[in-house]
Amino acid sequence: MPSLDEGGRGRSSELSAPRLRVDTPERAGLDPAETRLLVRDVVDLTTGDRPWAAGAVVVAGRGPVIAVREAVGWAVRYSAYDPAADAGVELPAGARIPVTVDTPFDLASLTKLFTSVAAVQQIERGTLGIDARVGAYLPDFHAAAAHGITVRQLLTHTSGLRPELPLYECADDTRRWALLRAETPVGAPGTYLYSDLNMLLLQQLLERLTGRTLDVLVREGITRPLGMTSTDFGPCPGAAATEDQRRPWAKADRGMLRGVVHDENAWALGGVAGHAGLFSTGHDLAVFCRTLLSGGSYGTARILGPDFVELLLTPPGLGFAVDQSWFMGELAGEGAAGHTGFTGTSLVLDPATDTFVVLLANTVHPRRRVPDSGPRALLGTRLAMAVR
């Protein structure tokens, strides 16, 4: 049975998959001492004068049980960044906004996972060929067509396209898409080179193929059937703040951002982009993880069949990174899959242990810094230890 009806909405499965419930670590089959350490580690990330993040939410569990759900720190802590002091300008205590477990965060590159699932849904329906050439669907993208870039190469970051283009410097969408149409690979096709451009081309392909915009595809094919009511492209007024975005440290002068996408290219494209733009909560992302761990089903909804979830998560992964210890810690090794986001987000799901961990944080508040995934890896290791 296809996972989508002709309108793109998730169909009910014959057998329902258990929904998530909040319960104790013991009921989840996790060591409570290790889960307490996991929570302590997240608290430590948000304390001090120069914390790793102003605020964070962590949700972790095993099977259908959420064993950890904690919110710490501030959704909004700073009014601006002071470059002379190299520090944030603290808001008065009464003006700060604390993080709650329901606070939405800018997902940044976790958006790529949803774009990838939307693509695999079309592969399951038979309307998209995984090894088909992009030029067959987007003949006006002459450079991609001439170099024989395939759908699989977009999904595995092996197209050879450079990491990004300065689309935010273009005056209008016509010029932005002209740049993408003319962009040729800088690396040999088949060689891994992580690139936002892969997901932008995939977005164009999906929109051309289906006649629907990416936000509609994600909403009708993923978030609505799964009941992920807090997941959507922005604006999202109640979201955690991100960056006081100004040159020279940023690529645009936009001031302190809250509820609008942080990524400059996604912003230039109107907030809906294949590589960035989604906002979500810890619980919604836990549902997303649980769905994939359950073979594509959640409750009575099914967004993918088990074979296509396997295709999505089989190394090297389609959109998902697989067994990457630099952000998964000791969960990596037996097929754990996930991704990180520049704003401070990450998720990891591990089919071998039936576990997941979601971390949402605003590490770019009040300004971006050199990325540090050590804390993400530590949480993965804590969860692995909790299983043992």
> Is pLDDT above 50 for 5?
no
| For the chain, counts of helices (H) and of strands (E) | 15, 17
Determine the average pLDDT of the residues in 340-352. Answer: 98
Q: DSSP E strands: which ranges in the chain?
A: 11-17, 21-22, 55-62, 65-76, 78-82, 87-90, 97-98, 105-106, 232-233, 241-245, 255-258, 278-280, 297-302, 321-322, 337-341, 345-350, 355-361
Express as a percent the part of the chain with pLDDT over 70. Answer: 96
Averaged pLDDT, 29-53: 96
Residue 230 pLDDT exceeds 70: yes
**141 pLDDT exceeds 90?**
yes
Specify the long-range contacts of residues 95-98, CB closer than 8 Å, at least 24 apart.
Answer: 98/55, 98/71, 98/73, 98/74
What percent of the chain stands above pLDDT 90? Answer: 93
Q: What's the predicted TM-score (pTM) here?
A: 0.95
The radius of gyration of the chain's CA atoms, rounded to the nearest angstrom, is 20
Residue 7 has pLDDT above 60, yes or no: no
For residue 350, which of 374, 319, 375, 329 has the smallest C-alpha distance?
329
Mean pLDDT of 108-136: 98
How high is the pLDDT of residue 16?
Answer: 81
| Locus of tokens 């088909």 | 132
Cα distances from 113 to residues 110, 117, 178, 289, 313, in angstroms, run: 6, 6, 26, 11, 11
Strand partners, 87: 82
Q: Which of 185-194, 203-212, 281-290, 354-363 has the lowest mean pLDDT?
A: 185-194
Mean pLDDT over residues 31-42, rounded? Answer: 98
**pLDDT tens-digit readout, 42-83:** 999 999 889 999 999 999 999 999 999 999 999 999 999 999
Q: What is the number of other CB atoms lying within 10 angstroms of the CB of residue 272?
A: 21
pLDDT of residue 214: 98
Is the pLDDT at 107 greater than 50, yes or no? yes
CA–CA distance, 332 with 156 (Å, rounded to integer): 18
Give the pLDDT band (50/70/90) at residue 15: low
Structure tokens at 91: 């808001």
Q: Tell me the average pLDDT across 134-151.
A: 96
Residues 258-272: pLDDT tens digits? 999 999 999 999 999
Q: Over the chain, what is the mean pLDDT?
A: 95
Domain with residues 11-387, CATH architecture: 3-Layer(aba) Sandwich (3.40)
d(CA 16, CA 187): 45
pLDDT of 1: 31
CA-CA distance, 210 to 340, in Å (whole number)? 28
Whether residue 370 is predicted with pLDDT greater than 70 in this model: the reply is: yes
